[in-house]
Structures are given as C-alpha cells and as structure tokens.
Amino acid sequence: MSTPTPPTPLDPIVEAEVERAISPYVGLLPPEVLKTMREVLEDALTTHPVAMKLIDHLRERVAPDASGTIPKEGAEPRRDEKAKAGGDEGAS
C-alpha cells in the first residue's frame, strides 16, 4: 500500500473540507475562535495519518488506460502468473 501524499495547508481539498466544517459556525462564534478552529482542522488534516489517508481518497484519480489485473506493490505474483512467466520450477 502506498503512503498518502501529505497535503499542504493551502491544498484546495483541505481548504474545502475546513470551510465545510467551519461554515455552520460562521456568524455564531467570534472570529478568533473560527481562526483557532481553522488552524486546528488544517493541522489535523495535514498531519494525522488517518486524516491524510482520507484526504488522499478525495483526490481525483487518473483512469487506467486498460482494464486488467494490477499487481500490488510488494506482493508476490500468483502461481498461475509464475507458470506463464516460466518461473514455476515444479511444473512439467
């Protein structure tokens, strides 16, 4: 599994999520409190490993060029793929 890309505080995805979270409180709380909420949320969304993964899931992905099986990073090939490649020593 790949490590999520840590977003920067000015990342548009982070900014949108912070705005969405703070919007119900605009006009109800003083500006200093809103500023503190924004800072805490930006910090959490850009440093906490779970939050970083969630933000990473919100990023647009490039569609694959073709369908098919994509090997996972660090995983060993399946037995039938080894046989096709000539790597299965026990096959006769």
Q: Are 51 and 3 in contact (CB under 8 A)?
A: no
Res. 29 pLDDT band, cuts 50 70 90:
very high
Least confident among 33-37, 49-53, 54-58, 83-87: 83-87
**Of the candidates 25, 17, 19, the residue with the CA atom closest to the CA atom of residue 52:** 17
pLDDT of residue 24: 96
Other beta carbons less than 10 A from residue 44's beta carbon: 14
Q: Name residues whose C-beta falls within 8 Å of residue 38's C-beta, 6 or more positions apart in sequence.
A: 18, 22
Beta bridge partners of 29: 26
Domain boundaries along the sequence of the chain: 7-59
What pLDDT is attached to residue 59?
82
Which H or E run contains 81? helix 79-84
- Asked whether residue 48 carries a pLDDT value surpassing 80, the answer given is yes
pLDDT tier at 61 (50, 70, 90 boundaries)? confident
